[in-house]
Amino acid sequence: MSSSEQKEYFNYLKSGSLFGKYYRPYYLYPKVNRHLSGRTLDIGCGVGNFLKSRNNSIGVDINPHCVKHCNNNGLEAYYFKIPNYDFRNNTFNSVLLDNVLEHIDNPFEILNEIFRVLKPGGLFVVGVPGKKGFKKDPDHKIFYDEEILNNTLQKFGFINKYFFYAPFKSEYLNKHLNPYCIFGVYIK
């Protein structure tokens, strides 16, 4: 991604919709936070909306404009171009990967890195868009439903505990609502 594309994407994230400005901090993030514990790494932290919702969280992102914005707003975030994070093994109690996995052609590196930095028994929460949301973004590369997500993550040593949905489980919303998401909670 070129610098101008990164800047454009950063501006897109900052703009957000009116719905998203209320939905994320008052509904989605409190719901996600109930499935995390302790020190948390947010991979693909964007402009830091999730980081604001959780104390003891650190973000990483591939967009330097997003990282600078987070840091300027008092949030701890780091720029990493490739998933080779400068954290020790078994550093985090939880890792969040929210609406990132579907953008990656080959998740091998990032899932191995998540496994490395997550403590044994740690929680990995991964959110992916439903059918409608997946089709909306031309940058989405791989569609994940519950079965595909489980098959993918089990190859990397993660064990599924359960799924939850935002706003709630509904095949109708899966097909008709862009922000509908599937969240898998996994344990290392």
pLDDT digits 0-9 by tens, 45-72: 999 999 999 999 999 999 999 999 999 9
| Non-local CB neighbours of 17 within 8 Å, separated by 6+ positions | none
64-72 and 3-15 helices, crossing angle to 10°: 50
Please give the chain's pLDDT, 188 residues, in tens: 777 887 777 677 777 777 778 888 999 999 999 999 999 999 999 999 999 999 999 999 999 999 999 999 999 999 998 888 999 999 999 999 999 999 999 999 999 999 999 999 999 999 999 999 999 988 899 999 999 999 999 999 999 999 999 999 999 999 999 999 999 999 99
At residue 10, the pLDDT reads 66
CA distances from 27 to 9, 21, 83, 120, 129 (A): 24, 10, 29, 29, 16
Six-digit token pair at 143? Answer: 């569609």
CB 44 within 8 A of CB 100: yes
The whole-number pLDDT of residue 173 equals 97
Two tokens, residue 136 = 């909306």
